[in-house]
Amino acid sequence: MTEIPGTTGDRLRLARLAHGFSQQQLAGMAGVSRQAVSAVEAGHSDPSLRVAFALAQALGMTVEELFGPGDVAQPVPAVPVAPLDGPGGPGGPGGRVLLAPVGDRFVALPLRGDAAADMGFVAAGGLAVPAAPAGAGEMARPGAAGAPGAPGAAGAIAVRPIGPLRPTLVVAGCDPALPLLAAPLALLDPPVAFAWWPCGSREALRLAAAGLVHVAGVHLRDAEGGYNATAASELPGGAEVVGFTAWREGLAIRPELAGAVTGLDSVVKLGHRVVNREPGAEARRLLDRELGRLGIDPAELSGYDSRAAGHLQVASAVAAGLADAGVASEPAARAYGLGFVPLADERFDLVLPGAYLGSREVQGLLRVLASRWLLAQLASLPGYDLATCGDRVR
């Protein structure tokens, strides 16, 4: 058995999840309480010799392998939030990922494109490795207890962790202000790490429904014209909705066009090119609604079939001269010094699946949403409205 890295709690959690056991299952096999297993994994206590021996025996390991020092990690099964591209091709080994426990399993966030860089490369949490042959016992199915929508073993990849794992809040959504949560989360006692998967609202909800993220950030217009009222009802087991930010959404345009472009109709009339968002993004739906309102065929709009992955990516493409306009949030447009033509008022909320409401990660989030530092940072960005930040809106 390969040694497990990190703290005592890290090694126990890794070993447990590698065997596909929930905390309750491992506790029952070892003849100890689930609270004892949880306390060791959280780093709140060190196991007695009796408990250490019982846990190691239940996992088929020696006490030294489970609780002794080690620096080489055993691969663990992790469910990727998107297809993984490695040096050997799609799904191949060597792909860098962020690795985070969500519920009772691991998820892998591929580090590629914008997700891999933040004015420099982002530190990886693990590397994809070839899976062990079926029946070899090294890649047991991740424990599904308490994990809604847990897929079968075919949905998992093998990931070798790099260094110790920490409790990590995993958030999916498109608001580029979300990474500001990382700093106050890191100051909690004990601290919580942060991982962001940038994507549109519909994709964020899909990942939340599959149990792959703790939080889905959404800004979806309801049939009645409001925002996000029905998002929580779409998740199995229900969810709570907490406010984060609000903004105006509209056309980010090249500064020199500010006088000529007054709406989408003038973009089409003047033959300007747009950069669009991916299907499922609310910005793309807003563009489609505006085209429908004006009676314009999408084929008349140059660049309609282009795709950018987020608000800042749209603004960046316009600023670089790759397009003349694109639908983005006002804060993104202002960040790049672009002109802005408002089309709609939007509210961006955080949807918290019921299965994870009581988790350390989500409870940490609820604490930091009221942080004066976070509110000051958001207020420093032109275009954001913080009136509902931290408020329970459903």
Angle between helix 34-41 and 23-30 (nearest 10):
120
Q: Two tokens at 19? A: 């065997």
Mean pLDDT of the chain: 83
Residue 249, sorted as left (phi over 0), alpha (psi -120 to 50) or beta, turns out to be: beta
The residue among 40, 67, 94 that closes a domain is: 67
Cα 264 to Cα 298: distance, rounded to the nearest angstrom: 11
Contact 254, 325 (CB under 8 A): yes
Q: Are residues 113 and 183 in the same domain?
A: no
Contact 9, 2 (CB under 8 A): no
Average pLDDT value for residue range 354-365: 93
Any alpha helices (H) in 224-359, and if so which ranges? 264-269, 282-294, 311-319, 330-335
Q: Are residues 296 and 353 in the same domain?
A: yes
Contact 69, 132 (CB under 8 A): no
Closest to 91 (Cα-Cα) out of 133, 131, 123, 124:
131
Q: Are residues 147 and 243 in the same domain?
A: no
CA angle 232, 237, 242 (to 5 degrees): 35
Cα 64 to Cα 80: distance, rounded to the nearest angstrom: 31
Q: Are residues 36 and 126 in the same domain?
A: no
pLDDT on residue 216: 96
The residue among 17, 42, 67 that closes a domain is: 67
Confidence of residue 178 (pLDDT cuts 50, 70, 90): very high
The residue among 140, 161, 182 that closes a domain is: 161
Predicted confidence (pLDDT) per residue in 34-44, tens digit: 999 988 888 88
Q: Are residues 201 and 317 in the same domain?
A: yes
Chain centroid to Cα 49, Å, comes to: 38
pLDDT on residue 163: 67
**What dihedral angle (degrees, nearest 10) is formed by the CA atoms of 303, 307, 310, 311?**
0
> What is the model's pTM?
0.74
Confidence of residue 164 (pLDDT cuts 50, 70, 90): low
Confidence of residue 225 (pLDDT cuts 50, 70, 90): low
pLDDT on residue 113: 65
Domain hosting 348: range is 166-394
- Domain total in the chain: 3
Is 288 a domain residue?
Answer: yes
Cα 6 to Cα 73: distance, rounded to the nearest angstrom: 9
Model confidence at 145: pLDDT above 60: no
Residue 248, CA distances (Å) to 137, 272, 283, 340, 387 in order: 53, 22, 11, 10, 14
pLDDT on residue 70: 56
Model confidence at 183: pLDDT above 50: yes
In terms of pLDDT, which residue wins out, 393 or 217? 217
Is 230 a domain residue?
Answer: yes
Q: Two tokens at 385? A: 């409205």
Predicted confidence (pLDDT) per residue in 81-136, tens digit: 988 765 544 445 667 888 888 888 889 988 876 665 565 677 888 888 876 554 44
pLDDT on residue 65: 75
Predicted confidence (pLDDT) per residue in 318-349, tens digit: 999 999 999 999 999 999 999 999 999 999 99
Cα 123 to Cα 202: distance, rounded to the nearest angstrom: 27
Identify the burial level of 122 via C-beta atoms within 10 angstroms of its C-beta, where 0-12 means exposed, 13-18 middle and 19 or more buried: middle
Helix (H) or strand (E) holding 10: helix 8-18
